[in-house]
Amino acid sequence: MRVYAVDPGDLRTAMHQAAFPGEDISDRPLPETVVPALLRLLEQSLDDAPPSGRYRAADLLVTA
């Protein structure tokens, strides 16, 4: 069994906008841009998957 904690980074969401009212967050990526990295991580076999740990979604996208 593997356990992952994934930090998606700053995303263009209503919650992020509410946390920073009045700030332009249009340069942040949309949430769906990190989904491929998360799916890739979850779909890997135990032999190919990285070890348990904390990962940044941006780093997972680089290796995709």
Quote the domain boundaries for residue 13: 4-63
pLDDT (0 to 100) of residue 49: 81
E strand or H helix at 4, and its extent? strand 4-7
pLDDT (0 to 100) of residue 15: 95
- The total domain count for the chain is 1
pTM: 0.66
- Count the helices and strands in the chain (H runs, E runs): 3, 2
Each residue's pLDDT tens digit, 8-63:
889 999 999 999 999 999 999 999 988 888 888 888 877 888 888 998 888 887 65
pLDDT of 64 higher than 60:
no
pLDDT (0 to 100) of residue 55: 87
pLDDT (0 to 100) of residue 63: 56
